[in-house]
Chains A and B, each alone.
Chain A
Amino acid sequence: MLRQIAPVVLFFAPVVAAQESSAILSNPFNTPADRIEGARLFRSQCANCHAEDGRGTSAGPDLSSGAFKRASSDEGLFQIVAKGLPGTVMPGFSLSGREIWQVLAFIRSLSISRARETVTGDASRGAALFRTHGCGGCHDGLLGPALGESVRRKPLFELRRSITDPQVEVESRWWRLRAATHDGAALSGRRLNEDTHSVQYADPSGRLRTVSKADLTQYEIVRKSPMPPFDLTDGELDDLLAYLVSGAP
């Protein structure tokens, strides 16, 4: 068993040194064979929480987008896998240093295969379409998603589908509420949070409010997207996506 642990310790030595010289240590085990071994390890050690395709389950987040919340460098990811994330169920693993690098090579390859989806449209034509269709009016991060973030989180085919058919999958954080109080007032807006006794929401003017459920006579969650379906040609969609990828707001 000590044999198992020792390589991790050895690998920490250069990691620490790298931090001190503020250089970023990159993955030394990144051949196709390493990625195959990494995929095997991922399936046995990680997939029960992160899913076989790395897209995440209720027990662990999506690791396939290439964007991480807790680290950005390979070195940071290495630390996460070796030590776990304190305060979360993400455990530390007794994998050897080599094995951790191989798993990371596999995880990185997931987002590289996503990034291969090429954009063929014209970003400046896309910017014009974005303006004329009033997309920016909703996509401010409060009423609708900040699309720069969407581009980092989701593959292009999903974003494309969202534009042509916004109702396909509306994430619950974009659900809205419709409610009425005892004194007859009608409430509406984007639902931000909810618990047994209250609802937090942004009203149509963008003001943040809380209402107690005890004060409501009617309460309905609107799960449909407020975004209208846009009838765009394939070429126009390509242009819009090119604009989003080029750095939408």
Chain B
Amino acid sequence: MRLFSVLLLAATLAAQVPYSRLRDAAKEPGSWLTYNGTYFSQHYSALDQVNRANVSKLGLQWVFQARSLEKFETTPLVADGVMYLTEPPNNVIAVDPATGRPFWMYEHTLPEVTYPCCGKVNRGVAILGNSIYHATHDAKVVALDARTGRKQWETTVANYQEGYALTHAPLAVKDKIIIGPAGGELGIRGFVLALDARTGKEVWRFKVIPEPGEKGNDSWGGDSWKHGGGSIWLTGSYDPELNLTYWGTGNPGPDWNPAVRPGDNLYTDCVVALDADTGELKWHFQFTPHDEWDWDAVQVPVLADLEWAGKPRKVMLWGNRNGFFYVLDRATGEFLLGKPFVKQTWARGLDAQGRPEKIPGMGPSRQGTKVWPGVQGGTNWYAPSFSPLTKLFYLTAWEDYHGTYFTWDQEYEPGKWYVGGGVKAPVPPTRREPIVTRGTEDGYATIRALDPRTGERVWEYPMADMSESGLLTTAGGVLFSGSREGWFFALDAASGKLLWRIYLGGQVIASPITYLVNGKQQISIAAGSSLFTFAVLE
């Protein structure tokens, strides 16, 4: 009895997930400690119990059913025998990963109308110490006790009535919680914000849209910076050695009326490298200067250490919505390589600095301009993967997919859409209907493996419909993904060959994760309105 209480005391005093565990998450593949798996965001796991030989024996362990019909974009965390997932719009649930039985639930009360743009979605949480961090549609960050779900603090980071909403999982770095808002379609001004993990007090704020007097403001004609957009849709990455945190920024506003915002529109459609302690901008790279098509850099920055021209190099791999694949030096931002990975008709190519050479006349027009890729882009927010085993970069691509882009004038009004145009495309951006009869001539999804040293395609796995599923690769030589059709499947990461599939009956619009439960490897994926968990059946 005495021994028991001593143990209990020890457990309560020790911080559950200190920063060091997040930093070394790759060495702890039995857990899934950050939204992107590790700070390098490779969506790669060193677990190999499930491998090419036995993946076909995967079977269902349990199902968690969400109570919402909203798109289910959650990517759970798993730490110390607890899985933390979110359910739309803003509920956090701790479940037992062995059985799926919930331990506790936090339900966030939202105002009647919030503006998370394209569905009342949430993608996940962060864990640090004994707390779970969750970001909400009314622009709040809440800290919850990891054991009870009780609220520890709550900080409002922006005015949700002006179109600010938080949809992504925060990133915990050292003693800070980093987050940024959606709202680029409502004339917001984006930012990356660090809060003190213990108190919720603001520590630093990087403004995606610089104000007059700040560097970069001159890339905005007139007053256009005031509603310049630049959302943060997705969790960033972190390099502990360089102490830089990397974030992809969203499109400039209004999306399709570029005439009212002459200039490059910094720092929209960029990756920004920020000092994790101060938020100071160390470098930036702009994928689509003066974006005319709504091609946010809404991707996970994938960090990898590669041999580059005979020398080891710290790089960043990026398949962008604009249809180009990029390799950057992540210490300096230097452009190393860029190449289209899908059909595109808006740029002749990239120059030596990686700046696109735009083809004139491809912007939106009154009568409509047909451009490849369409508005969802060559890829979008679904997580790509890099496998240190195959040294390949994998992504879900939309091939041969176009849109017709229209422009019109529009005045800014707070809390309203501010997009200045529209796009007609033969393929819906998000589909829940289970009936699909269109042909693939209007575009199809395909998982592509690229050699990051050349940008060349090594293999592909084409599908009949589009896909918004993220990817996971493992040391078992397997790649897991899903599709809009409702399949969840495993491919051979070296060849793209289909090894196993199961029909889950609802679109996959999330990324798979893997972890150990009682020493046994499990894989979880959200599909439709449920989270499914698999393991090899004995």
Query: Which residue numbers of A lie inside 8 Å of B, CB to CB?
Result: 1-2, 4-5, 8, 43-45, 47-49, 51-52, 57-59, 82-84, 86-89, 91-95, 172-173, 175, 191-197, 221, 223
Contact = CB atoms under 8 A, between A and B. Distances in A.
B113 A58 contact: no
Nearest to A12: B112
B121 to A, nearest CB: 10
Contact of A5 (B119, B161, B426, B486): B161
Given A94-B113, A94-B161, A195 B118 contact: no
Nearest to B404: A57
Nearest to B438: A172
Nearest to A49: B422
Contacts of A2: 161
B70 A57 contact: no
Nearest to A56: B424
Contact of B419 (A5, A48, A172, A175): A48
B415 A59 contact: no
Interface string B256-278: 10000000000000000000000
A44 B485 contact: no
B115 A91 contact: yes
Contact of B422 (A51, A83, A92, A94): A51
Contact of A194 (B113, B432, B437): B437
A57 B256 CA distance: 16
A234 B188 CA distance: 56
A58 B436 contact: no
Interface of B: 68-71, 112-115, 117-120, 159, 161-162, 256, 406, 408, 410-411, 414-417, 419, 421-430, 432, 434-439, 462-465, 483, 485-487, 501
Contacts, number: 120
Given A4-B161, A84-B113, A91-B115, 9 more contacts: A1-B161, A4-B414, A48-B423, A51-B422, A52-B406, A88-B432, A92-B112, A191-B437, A195-B485
Contacts of A83: 112-113
Contacts of A57: 422-425
B464 A196 contact: yes
21 contacts: A1-B159, A2-B161, A4-B415, A44-B410, A44-B411, A52-B408, A82-B113, A86-B68, A87-B68, A87-B119, A89-B119, A91-B115, A92-B112, A94-B415, A94-B416, A172-B437, A172-B439, A193-B434, A194-B436, A196-B487, A197-B487
Contacts of B462: 196
B424 A173 contact: no
Contact of A221 (B426, B435, B439): B439
A86 B70 contact: yes
Nearest to A223: B439
A228 B531 CA distance: 49
A92 B186 CA distance: 13
A1 B115 CA distance: 14
